Amino acid sequence: MIYLKKTFLMGILILVVGLIVLAVGLPIGYSEAPLEMSEWRVTWFRIFSAPTEIVPIDTVGIAVNETTLPASFDFIMSDLDFAPYTGSMDEIGLMAKTEVYVPSDGKVRFELGSDDGSALFLDGEIVIDNWGLHAYQPMSKVVSLEKGVHTLEIWWFEWHGSAVLSFKMDEKVTSSDPLYGRVVGGAIVIAGLAVMIVFRPERKK
Ligand SMILES: [Ca+2]
């Protein structure tokens, strides 16, 4: 009899867990969908001074080249990589723009690294402030994005010494999936009810 009683209580416990899952969802219930990126459109600059505050590179330099770079969610350029575009490895900068199509609402992680300063903008709003004269340092941020097309822009400058620019972002958007929580929660509730019915206490005669 004690065994049956414990099993019945276990059914109630399973039922409660199922109801909680139904109410709050599951942290592991998520989906991933691939992003689509256009090629980067880049304007290259020779700069006259190292900007202490975040300003468009064209306010401290002169455009010397316009190119595209392949659409890439992950790239790193350093020192000699810049010379073909600017004719120099120092006192240079760039402003690069692209569009990203996000197929569903969700979270995306960005990382921007630079020597010297850089900034990342999403739809015109600053997301990562990595500005200043400094050795290479990466900075990252996770951002919630709505489904649709979003604009990304990078501003970067190199004054003296070594020069690096790196960019990384998730290639997939991670979305929480409420349906998953409901299906799993519903299944747990049914399992709890089944246990309660099968192991229900018998009435004394
Ligand atoms: Ca430098």
Cα gap 153→120, rounded to integer Å: 6
Does residue 76 have a pLDDT over 80? yes
What's the CA-to-centroid distance between 79 and ligand 1, angstroms? 9
Within a domain: 10: yes
Q: How confident is the model at residue 28, as a pLDDT?
A: 66
Q: Quick one: 156 and 76 in the same domain?
A: yes
Q: Which CA distances in Å does 5 have to 1, 16, 143, 189?
A: 6, 17, 49, 19
**Domain boundaries, position 183:** 2-29+178-198
Domain count within the chain:
2
Identify residue 154 by its one-letter amino acid code. Answer: I
Ligand 1 midpoint to CA 133 (Å): 7
Confidence of residue 64 (pLDDT cuts 50, 70, 90): very high
Residue type, 57: I
Residue 175 has what pLDDT? 83
CATH code, domain with 71: 2.60.120.380
pLDDT tens sequence across 34-56 = 999 999 999 999 999 999 999 99
Rounded to the nearest whole angstrom, what is the distance from the C-alpha of residue 36 to the centroid of ligand 1?
A: 32
Task: Identify the bridge partners of residue 113 per DSSP, sorted by sequence position.
Answer: 138, 166
* 197: pLDDT strictly greater than 60: yes
DSSP 190: H
Ligand 1 centroid vs 50 CA: distance in angstroms? 10
